[in-house]
């Protein structure tokens, strides 16, 4: 009997993998052109002669309240020159990131046929890490100087848990996250569960559109942090349920379990010191995964579903 059950599960797993492979092959065939525009390099090479042409090609990069002399002086600024030098060291070319972005856009178009690939433009922002990627319907701007490596000298004044993913492998993850926000519809988040499901939707979106990234990369954890979350999933869930936190509107809860932080705040010293931050996001991710596994729902419909509907129909059970 045990052998029969194991055989059934093995066959289901094989069929599932085969279907996933077929889908990926279909996605890879979607025609899509992408060429990342290196505005950072073009601006670094700007002169009085070619600046007008650059302004015509990238009018949205030049505020009209500043004169040409201002922009030309900026190209000679010591910090600007240093930024470009460091960017060129890490990104002598950007082919790898271009391939990943193309795959991301193919996956988005598979699930959302109306999607149109934007112009993708890299720039420098004097390490404005709070606005690393800006997405509009037609243009995507990437502050490439915020992806030079988490230990880069430019980031030494930034807390380690914030700069943990300041590396080039995380560009496509941040881009996927920004696109998730465009497709998620959810009313005002009032409870901890609302927040958990919102980020669960975002992370599940990443599951589908950047499957070539690891789970740790998608959530922005190290492998050790992800393993800690998995190993303690049952405890985390029990903590939320026993303290009736899921439907609580306590304004302190997002800071404890949702927002970026060096650790999650259970107010238990032995746990807090070991835990990664944003464990509410992690549990929300698992709830959404359970919902999608136990219901015949499209990605698009899930992104529009109410948090309580997702939770009530998820049949979520934490791993022990």
Write the DSSP symbol of residue 185: -
pLDDT at residue 224, rounded to an integer:
97
pTM: 0.91
Alpha helices in the chain (DSSP H): 2-28, 39-44, 51-57, 68-75, 78-90, 95-111, 160-163, 171-183, 192-209, 215-219, 223-231, 233-242, 253-257, 269-272, 279-294, 299-304, 307-312
Query: Which band of pLDDT confidence, cut at 50, 70 and 90, is reported for residue 313?
Result: very high
| Range of lowest pLDDT (28-32, 46-50, 158-162, 295-299) | 28-32
Give the span between the Cα atoms of 176 and 22, in whole angstroms: 22
Is residue 8's pLDDT more than 60? no
Does the structure show a pLDDT above 60 at 5?
no
CA distance 293 to 286: 10
What is the reported pLDDT for 231? 96
Q: What percent of the chain has pLDDT over 90?
A: 87
CA-to-CA separations, 20 to 7, 14, 15, 32, 254, in angstroms, rounded:
20, 10, 9, 21, 35
**182: phi then psi, degrees, rounded to nearest 5:** -75, -25
Distance, in Å, from the CA atom of 260 to the CA atom of 170, rounded to the nearest integer, reads: 16
Q: What is the Cα 223 distance to its own chain's centre?
A: 16
pLDDT band at residue 4 under the 50/70/90 scheme: low
What are 58's two structure tokens?
């990238």
Nearest Cα neighbor of 146 from 122, 128, 164, 170 is 128
Instruction: Say which residue the tokens 């992104």 belong to.
Output: 303
Between the CA of residue 49 and those of 34, 41, 53, 57, what are the distances in Å? Answer: 29, 16, 8, 14
Stretch 23-43: mean pLDDT, rounded? 93
pLDDT range class, residue 21, cuts 50, 70, 90: confident
Element spanning 37, H or E: strand 37-38
Could you tell me how many residues make up the chain?
Answer: 320
CA distance 33 to 203: 26
Q: How many CB atoms lie within 10 A of CB 213?
A: 19
Q: What is the pLDDT of residue 132?
A: 96
What tokens were used for 200? 């669960």
Q: Quick one: angle between helices 279-294 and 233-242, nearest 10?
A: 100
Give the confidence band of 269 by pLDDT, cuts at 50, 70, 90. confident
């Amino acid at each position: 009997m045990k052998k029969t059950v194991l055989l059934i599960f093995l066959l289901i797993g094989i069929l599932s993998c085969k279907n996933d492979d077929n889908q990926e092959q279909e996605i890879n065939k979607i025609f899509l052109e992408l060429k990342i525009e290196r505005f950072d390099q073009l601006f670094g090479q700007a002169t009085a002669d070619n600046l007008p042409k650059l302004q015509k090609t990238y009018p949205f990069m030049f505020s009209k309240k500043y004169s040409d002399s201002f922009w030309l002086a900026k190209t000679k600024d010591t910090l600007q020159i240093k930024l470009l030098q460091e960017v060129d060291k890490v990104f002598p070319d950007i082919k790898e990131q271009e391939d990943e972005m193309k795959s991301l856009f193919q996956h988005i178009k598979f699930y959302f046929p109306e999607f149109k690939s934007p112009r993708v433009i890299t720039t420098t922002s004097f390490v404005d890490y709070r606005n690393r990627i800006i997405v509009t319907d037609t243009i995507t701007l990437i502050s490439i100087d915020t992806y030079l490596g988490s230990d880069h000298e430019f980031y030494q004044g930034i807390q380690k848990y914030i700069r943990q993913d300041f590396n080039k492998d995380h560009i496509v993850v941040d881009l996927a996250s920004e696109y998730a926000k465009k497709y998620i519809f959810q009313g005002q988040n009032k409870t901890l569960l609302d927040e958990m499901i919102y980020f669960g939707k975002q992370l599940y979106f990443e599951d589908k559109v950047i499957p070539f990234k690891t789970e740790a990369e998608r959530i922005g954890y190290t492998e050790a942090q992800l393993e800690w979350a998995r190993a303690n999933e049952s405890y985390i869930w029990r903590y939320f349920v026993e303290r009736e936190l899921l439907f609580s509107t306590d304004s302190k809860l997002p800071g404890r379990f949702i927002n970026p932080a060096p650790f999650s705040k259970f107010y238990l010293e032995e746990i807090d010191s070991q835990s990664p931050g944003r464990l509410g996001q992690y549990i929300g991710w698992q709830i959404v995964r359970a919902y999608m596994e136990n219901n015949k729902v499209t990605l698009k419909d899930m992104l529009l579903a109410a948090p309580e509907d997702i939770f009530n129909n998820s049949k979520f059970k934490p791993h022990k």
